[in-house]
Amino acid sequence: MNLQTKPISEITRFTTLDFPDRLSCIVWFSGCQMRCPYCYNPQMVLEDGKISLEELFKFLNSRKGKLDGVVLSGGESTLFPQIELLCKEIKDMGFEVKIDTNGLMPQRVKSLVKKGLVDFISLDFKAPKEKFNIITKTNGYEKLQETLAFLIENEFKFEVRTTVHPDLLNEDDINQIISTLHSFGYKGRYALQKYLHVIPTLGETKEPKNHFDIKKLNNIFDIEFRNF
């Protein structure tokens, strides 16, 4: 692994919120295949990273015994070509690894899971099939489905998340996602994260005009509401 490579935009040194029941740091990778309009990390998505792997390892060495886990987020961490080697080295240092992913790299996710290089995954389910291209500006819905199906079949520990901007996704859209998850046999946690208006976003989204009524949602799952 070339330690001078700079794939990282930022490091959050400490969080109790992101990795369930773990004290962790967050490593924010630059680059993403998607272009979600509400994305509040436009510079991470569009610009090159500025932190090297060498700097990351130096930081992680100083956190041994203080943190339990490392969250690889972004951007899209699975785009990093040497993600497997990186996860292995992080685990060899004694940390657990969580990956936040948009699900568009099923082969990488499968390989990480099969090799035991990841402990928990947050999978973003950005939109139902009909709106997937509009929201993400990709045609990756089948890839997301492949990732989802694999994680369910392998009974891997993961959560599914959707960000809700009420002008982009309504209650019917979320019910459609819930139906899809149900039809795949998903029984884990589904988290709905309400869009918080911050500037700038990738698509210069505005404050939502529409109301989102959580009472209209199917209660097949226990939904965790974040920021509602």
**In 3-state terms, what secondary structure has residue 174?**
helix
Min. distance of Cβ 86 from ligand SF4 in angstroms?
18
Closest separation in Å from C-beta 52 to ligand SF4: 21
75 binds ligand SF4 (CB under 6 A): yes
Using CB under 6 A as the criterion, what x/- string covers residues 172-211 for binding ligand SF4?
------------------------------x---------
Out of 49, 74, 103, 106, which residue is the one contacting ligand SF4 (CB under 6 A)?
Answer: 74
The sign one gets for the Cα dihedral 105, 44, 95, 160 is negative
Across 43-105, where does the E strand assignment appear?
A: 69-74, 96-101
How many Cβ atoms are within 10 Å of 27's Cβ, its own excluded?
27
Interatomic CA distance for residues 165 and 160, integer angstroms: 17
Number of residues that bind ligand SF4 (CB under 6 A): 12
**Piece of the chain touching ligand SF4 by CB under 6 A; list 5-13, 17-25, 32-40, 87-95:** 32-40
User: Please, what is the minimum distance in Å from the beta carbon of residue 131 to ligand SF4?
Assistant: 14
Beta bridge partners of 72: 27, 99
Binding region for ligand SF4 (CB under 6 A) out of 29-37, 84-92, 154-162, 179-187: 29-37
**Is residue 32 at the binding interface for ligand SF4, with CB under 6 A as the rule?**
yes
Q: Which two tokens stand for residue 172?
A: 């019917």
Per-residue CA distances from 159 to 46, 119, 122, 148 (Å): 27, 12, 5, 10
**Residue from 25, 27, 36, 169 binding ligand SF4 (CB under 6 A):** 36
CB atoms within 10 A of CB 33: 17
